[in-house]
Amino acid sequence: TLRWGVIQDRPLWIIFGKSMVIRLKQELIINNDKTIDGRGANVQIAGGAQLTVQFVHNVIIHGIHIHDIKPGEGGLIRDSEKHSGIRTRSDGDGISIIGSSNIWIDHVSLARCSDGLIDVILGSTAITISNCHLTEHDDVMLLGASDTYTQDEIMQVTVAFNHFGRGLVQRMPRCRYGFVHVVNNDYTHWIMYAVGGSQHPTIISQGNRYIAPHIEAAKEVTKRDYAEPAEWSKWTWKSQGDLFCQWSPPL
């Protein structure tokens, strides 16, 4: 099973022999050195609990569809060959990355999860989210979950070549602390804003297309939270080679 594969204590490349829909009864906790590769099949993680990448390194998730994720009830869940632990109720993110490094989320479609589509928190770094298609969601992507968790200053995240599509509202991404490179993404839909942040993150936006909605109050691409202009004017938010359409003002 997929759960058996991801908890192994050795490097493992997991592929799928046929198309399938997997409904997780509890969150899927992924061990170190794992690749989940959905190429060649239509693999959907849907209608159940989330994928969790917690305190591990070297994980690739590629070519799967994640949608309609619900909170898991918690309980005794195995996270390695030799360990099971008591887990509290999971949030219902699509993918939750917690205190982890060298993680690549690529060619994954995500929609309609109970919390965020992708959360990256608690000092995670060396994270790449690329070539993904994200739709039909409010709080899309959270990079850093707490204003008080200053350890997120080590966070380095690349958000590249993604399509932020229909039905999205905000947080594409929403950043705290750290360094975020937003490059060559296509933003075709949002209702509130595209890129936001607080706690002086460094955000470099390069080569993106931002198509503003026909909502006058949402024409601005960015949102700076919980700071007066005298403070956020000192933050490093830069735009280079971005295309702003339908009167969306630059960063």
State the DSSP string of 104-118: EEES-EEE--SS-SE
41-54: average pLDDT = 99
Domain at 2-245, CATH class: mainly beta
Place of tokens 């609990």: 49
pTM for this predicted structure:
0.95
Q: Where are the domains of the chain?
A: 2-245
User: Rounded distance, CA 96 to CA 28, Å?
Assistant: 10
Residue 247 pLDDT > 70, yes or no? no
Q: Smallest Cα–Cα separation from 24: which of 82, 85, 84, 94?
A: 94
> Which residues are CB-neighbours of 148 under 8 A, at least 6 positions away?
none
Q: What is the pLDDT of residue 215?
A: 86
User: Rounded distance, CA 83 to CA 48, Å?
Assistant: 23
Cα angle 125-187-99, degrees, rounded to a multiple of 5: 15
Place of tokens 């906790």: 29
Q: Smallest Cα–Cα separation from 79: which of 7, 14, 12, 10?
A: 7
Which one is catalytic: 171, 174, 176, 224? Answer: 171
Peptide bond just before 11 cis, omega within 30 deg: no
Q: Smallest Cα–Cα separation from 94: which of 55, 44, 37?
A: 44
Q: Two tokens at 75?
A: 């309980």
Residues belonging to the chain: 251
pLDDT-derived band of residue 250, with 50, 70 and 90 as boundaries? low
Q: Looking at 26-35, 59-68, 137-146, 238-247, which range is the least confident one?
A: 238-247
Question: Could you read off the pLDDT of 98-133 as tens digits, one per residue?
Answer: 999 999 999 999 999 999 999 999 999 999 999 999
Q: Two tokens at 218?
A: 């949402």
pLDDT-derived band of residue 249, with 50, 70 and 90 as boundaries? low
Whether 171 sits among the annotated catalytic residues: the reply is yes
pLDDT-derived band of residue 246, with 50, 70 and 90 as boundaries? confident
Handedness of CA 113, 116, 121, 127 (dihedral sign): positive
Q: Two tokens at 109?
A: 């479609």
Distance (Å) of CA 239 to CA 75, 166, 183, 212: 45, 24, 10, 16
Q: Are 249 and 221 spatial neighbours (Cβ–Cβ below 8 Å)?
A: yes
Q: What is the pLDDT of residue 12?
A: 98
Place of tokens 């060396």: 126
**Bridge partners (DSSP) listed for residue 128:** 104, 158
User: Rounded distance, CA 206 to CA 204, Å?
Assistant: 6
As a whole number of Å, the CA-based R_g of the chain is 18
